[in-house]
Every structure is written in structure tokens, then in C-alpha cells.
Chains A and B, each alone.
Chain A
């Protein structure tokens, strides 16, 4: 068994695709019409055959209150790995991305939290070599 897919619940798939590709820099992998919505996934250009991230509609009534509660407390829904978090933070901020947490050094990892504009907070994290 292996993990090949993860997902984030988004309030608008078209908007999410723009944010996750144009801002975060992922690539569209699958885009299959499924009635009202799409089976829509993105991958990292660093690993195009790797784990896919599905941008899933958040229309179930339980999802929005759950997302709001997480956002209120600043809790990220998921996390992506970056090589240089200072550079990514600067790049994304200059694109107008809102961070609820600037890079914070936790010892083994430096992590920041951003708003994906689709109702989620997302962590970006850089592992730091153990000294």
C-alpha cells in the first residue's frame, strides 16, 4: 500500500486551480468533468509522477464550519515542503499571498502558514539539518 493522493477542500475549483498553479507553482495533472464539479488534481513540477493533490469541492455542509474553525485558530489543513522558506515567503508575499504566520524556526523545521484563498490555511515547511 502506498499514499498516492491527498486532498484539500476548496470553495471554488477554478479559483483553486489558479491559486495552486499560478501562485504555489504546481501543475495540473487530471481534470475530468464529473457533473457539476471536476476530478481535479495537481502535482509538483519537482515530482510530476509523485503524490497528487486533489482540489475537492467543499460543498458538504459539515466541511465549511470545520474549515472556519481551523482558520480562526490559524491551523493549517496540510503542509508542503520547500527548500528555501525565506525565499518562498518573500516570493509569495510579493504576489499578494496572505500569511497568518511568517517563517518560525522550530529547531528541526522552519514553518510558515498561508491562506490559499479557498478557505484553507496551508503550511510550507523547510526541514533544517540537525546540528
Chain B
């Protein structure tokens, strides 16, 4: 993977993080929480399992933690775990429909959500938020998939 590809992937994750924070701040409801960052991350793991290696996973996780002023590891740890799972079953996942993949990613994302809130920010944990987050993963997956696929096909020439 060349630097330009890495730069574009990091930029897409950063864009996801900014969208998450912008929408959450705008809607300003305790149950509202979407994680486009995780969906974008899932897409890159899913679409480029060979190129999206351990080092890149760690660096992107670190960047998100740093930019969000979170504890170091808040994103790195779930990213490592999800990357391990998705890389292990990378090509098998392609047999499934978008709805099934959306469900699998929603489950994984909910694990990340629960990890973040139960261990790091217990004050912000609500069941309604978890449910909303789960449904939003399924609904947003086709959108994120199309957008990231467009970026990959037009700007990242190393990953086919």
C-alpha cells in the first residue's frame, strides 16, 4: 500500500469521525449515537484484507484516538479485534448479501459500542442508545459501502 492510499483511508475514517460528532452534537438526544467511523473501518477491512494490515490498523486507531482526545486504545483495541475477525473470514464474508453483512457488522459494532461505554464512559450508556446504534449500522451499511467503494475505485489504484 502506497502512502497516498493510506492517506485516503485515514481521511475517510477521519471524515467518519467528524460526521459522527457533528450529527450527535446536532441532534443532541441521549439515545442518538451512530458510528460511521466503525462502518468505514469495516469496509476497508472487508474490501482490502490483504492491504489493510496490522500496522495500518494500529496507526488509524491511534489517529482517531489522538484526534478525539480519547484514552489511547479506545479505538485501537476494537479496531485490532475487528480486523482480526474480518481478515480471518474475509473472503467468506463476500458470499453473504448486504443485509447479512450489515447484520454481522452491526453485531461487531455493538460489541465495540458496549466496550467503549461499559469500560470507559459508563455515564453515557443507555440501552436505547445501543438499540439505535445497532439499527443504524444496518441501515447505513449500504450507504457507506457505496461511498467507500466509489472512493476505492476512483482514488485508490493499489487496492482492486
The answer on A and B forming one complex is no
A contacts, CB < 8 Å to B: none
